[in-house]
Amino acid sequence: MRILIVEDEAKTAHHLRDGLAEAGFEPHLFQDGPSALDAALMESFDALVVDIMLPGFSGLELVSKLRRKGVQVPVLFLSAKGALEDRIRGLEGGGDDYLVKPFALPELVARLRALLRRGTIPSKDRVQVGDLVWEPVQRRISRLGKRVDLTPKEYALATLLMRNPGEVVTRDQMAQAVWGLSSGVDPNAMDVQVRRLRKKLDDPYPVKLIHTLRGIGLVLEFRAKK
């Protein structure tokens, strides 16, 4: 698996390159936006690991340019900025996952392998599950044509589910998306967040879309009545 790494901090860049090589990948390292863009347009890669703060232009700009050119390989963003709005901006900017620095290399490898298992994810301006619609560009979620107002945490959780319709979203994935933590979130706090989202997206409607797999996580899908 050929992985394009874009990281300008020398120590982190070499740590990434050596670590991914040891994990069985074929890493190709670049240290600025323009050279990485040229490489990604001329060569084929299975995934990209992209730092957001880069010389030339940012990782967000890099991925935006690639998406406009039709390059839809999975992207894992790296950033020292771990605020909820930063993570949402990365995911809405064409990223498929977002990892906050400092990170543990085994976690990065696990996330990268998960993205590769999912394969290429098409860029969409509109995602629909049943009568629930997400429009990432407008940052709008609506049901039955009516916009649903969500808090930042609710929106982060809702978009995580909308990006993975029909798939199990684990509690660890929810912790990362909402709080920027891979684990350690108070279960009660997570349950409160899920209840609040259900209250807005599911409770007012006869057809329920958010389903619980006890002890594992959630699935967002339309289940036709038998």
Supply the DSSP string of 37-94, one letter for each residue: HHHHHHS--SEEEEESS-SSS-HHHHHHHHHHTT----EEEEES---HHHHHHHHHTT
Per-residue pLDDT at 60 exceeds 80: yes
Does the domain spanning 2-118 belong to CATH 3.40.50.2300? yes
- Per-residue tokens: 211: 């389903």
Domain ranges of the chain: 2-118, 127-220
Per-residue pLDDT at 70 exceeds 80: no
Per-residue pLDDT at 86 exceeds 60: yes
Pick from 162, 128, 164, 133: nearest CA to 148: 133
The pTM for the full model equals 0.61
CATH architecture of the domain with residue range 127-220: Orthogonal Bundle (1.10)
Over residues 159-167, the mean pLDDT reads: 88
Q: What is the pLDDT of residue 223?
A: 80
Q: What is the pLDDT of residue 131?
A: 92
Q: What is the pLDDT of residue 62?
A: 93
Is residue 120 very low, low, confident or very high in pLDDT (cuts 50, 70, 90)? low
Rounded (10°) CA dihedral 211, 214, 218, 221: -30
Per-residue pLDDT at 138 exceeds 80: no
